[in-house]
Amino acid sequence: MEKQLKLIIEALLFASSKPLSTLEIQKCLPDSTLPDIRAALTELQTEYEAMQRSFRLKEVAQGYQIRTRSGYAPYVLTMLRRSPARLSRAALETLAIIAYKQPIIRQEIESFRGVDVGGILRTLLEKDLIRIMGRKALPGRPLIYGTTKTFLEVFDLKDLESLPKLKEIKDFGSGDEETAEIPEEDKEVEAAGEKEAPPIPEEAETPPTGERETGKA
């Protein structure tokens, strides 16, 4: 039964287009306990690492997801015949401010950056990297911004506590011409290589692309 549980969970993870929490997995396996599910997930992680597969099981966005290793991204991009979407340095700086200072309003973001960020906020909202959390009790009732689960997925974070500490981050005010690659909105693939702008982790990995079938890994 233990092996069967692992195989069922593996099938669910391959079929899902988003990270699955242990509670979501349990809904499909009502006879299995949460400790059993967590143990099966840990075993799958260990097995994938031992086999040195092109993918690994990661805990991201408060759930679990099978993600392609970043070193294979160029081949996946070639298959999809597309280039990764990009975020400018200014957009990354704005996103970093929101990630570390949320909940935060536009005026506060502009105070940090010293420039208008209206267009950048629209871009980040369109890419589902940030969300509107409500309105602040100030004159004009300004919108309050915070990050999304998509943000956690894109930057390979388990939760907001996994963000690099500010003291670990180098000054990102230089090199305004640089850009960083991020996945398309359907999150089919992530750009290869390490990202240089905070708060991007050193190693970025991606979910598998397309329909998940046995043997596609």
| 10-residue stretch averages of pLDDT, the chain, 217 residues long | 89 94 95 95 95 93 92 87 78 95 96 94 94 94 95 90 77 47 41 36 43 39
Say if 9 falls within a structural domain: yes
Say if 30 falls within a structural domain: yes
Say if 8 falls within a structural domain: yes
CATH number at residue 22: 1.10.10.10
Say if 202 falls within a structural domain: no
Q: In what order do the strands lie in the sheet with 104-105?
A: 104-105, 143-147, 130-135
Say if 28 falls within a structural domain: yes
User: Which pLDDT score, from 0 to 100, does residue 83 have?
Assistant: 63
146: helix, strand or coil: strand
Q: Which structure tokens are listed for 12?
A: 């669910």
Say if 37 falls within a structural domain: yes
Say if 40 falls within a structural domain: yes
Say if 79 falls within a structural domain: no
As for how many domains the chain has, the answer is 1
Instruction: List the domain range (segments joined by +) for residue 11.
Output: 2-69
